Chain A
Amino acid sequence: EAQVTQNPRYLITVTGKKLTVTCSQNMNHEYMSWYRQDPGLGLRQIYYSMNVEVTDKGDVPEGYKVSRKEKRNFPLILESPSPNQTSLYFCASSFSAGGLEQYFGPGTRLTVT
């Protein structure tokens, strides 16, 4: 089944404790992206990647890191999480390097206390 997977689906952590949210797609897609979704603010792009080893900042990259060492994986790293990073996070991928027709993973609900 073609899909984007994320782990974990739910995470409660404390301020400053490094964490990684994994994202994997099995569709051989070129483009991958991370979004956060907050009430009233919609989906905002954090980072994106148009290909292996090519990543760039989206609209809200502060406090996040990413890497794209393999085509299928695009982990999101929070080196020192803070409460304002409490949010619903989505990974997405697209066959198009331009990021059109993006397909989303199931989401990760992160709470930082």
Chain B
Amino acid sequence: QKEVEQNSGPLSVPEGAIASLNCTYSDRGSQSFFWYRQYSGKSPELIMFIYSNGDKEDGRFTAQLNKASQYVSLLIRDSQPSDSATYLCAVNSPSGGYNKLIFGAGTRLAVHP
């Protein structure tokens, strides 16, 4: 079973700091990587995706991908209390002739004022 691993947290950061969320994956054939944000009791919301090695920035969010080391990370700059949520890493796993998304169990982020 291909796996996606995340630290469950909680990761506690002060308001205005950088939050760094990490994810490792086992399937070397994976090509696409996604970060979802999930507020308690709500559905996952796609916030970032990255397909190439390196960094991808979107507003306060930066996704970083290192395929050689099989890890992907999400940086949140100037963290706000509204960023407090569980962040799910998802990795495509090409197997059996189709792509499927494998989700990590998520990292809970708590941003305190």
- State A30–B101 Cα separation when bound (angstroms): 15
B46 touches A102 (CB 8 A): yes
Place the interface of chain B in its size category. Answer: 20 to 34
- In the complex, the answer to whether A48 meets B43 with C-beta atoms within 8 Å is no
Q: Indicate if the CB atoms of A99 and B43 lie closer than 8 Å.
A: no
Q: Is the CB of B103 within 8 A of A101?
A: no
Q: Across the interface, do A43 and B43 meet the contact criterion of CB distance under 8 Å?
A: no
Q: Which of B19-43 contact A (CB under 8 A)?
A: 32, 34, 36, 42-43
Q: Is the CB of A58 within 8 A of B100?
A: yes
Task: Check A43 against B46 for contact (C-beta < 8 Å).
Answer: no
Among the 9-residue stretches A14-22, A69-77, A78-86, A103-111, the one with 4 or more Cβ atoms under 8 Å from chain B is A103-111
Q: Is A101 within 8 A of B34, CB to CB?
A: yes
Q: How large is the interface on A (under 10, 10 to 19, 20 to 34, 35 or more residues)?
A: 20 to 34
Tell me if A98 and B103 are in contact (CB < 8 A).
no
Chain B CB within 8 A of A100 CB:
yes
Residue A90 CB within 8 A of the other chain: yes
Q: Is B13 an interface residue (CB 8 A)?
A: no
Pairwise interchain contact A48-B45, C-beta atoms closer than 8 A: no
What are the residues of chain A within 8 A of B105 when measuring CB–CB?
A: 40-42
B residues less than 8 Å from A45 (CB atoms): 100-101
Whether A90 pairs with B98 at a CB distance below 8 angstroms is: no
Across the interface, B106 reaches (CB within 8 A) one of A42, A104, A106, A107, namely A42
Question: Is there a chain B Cβ closer than 8 Å to A32's Cβ?
Answer: no
User: Is A104 a contact partner of B98 (Cβ separation < 8 A)?
Assistant: no
B66: interface (CB < 8 Å):
no
Instruction: Tell me whether A66 is interfacial, beta carbon within 8 Å.
Output: no
Residue pair A104, B100 in contact (C-beta under 8 Å)? no
Interface residues of A in 35-84 (CB under 8 A from B): 40-45, 48, 50, 56, 58
Contact (Cβ within 8 A) B43 A90: yes
Q: How far is the CA of A96 from the CA of B106 in the complex (A)?
A: 24
Given contacts A40-B105, A43-B88, contact A99 B46 (CB under 8 A): no
Known: A98-B92, A102-B90. 5 other contacts (CB 8 A): A42-B105, A45-B100, A48-B98, A100-B99, A106-B42
Binding site for A on B (CB under 8 A): 32, 34, 36, 42-46, 49, 88, 90, 92, 98-101, 103-106
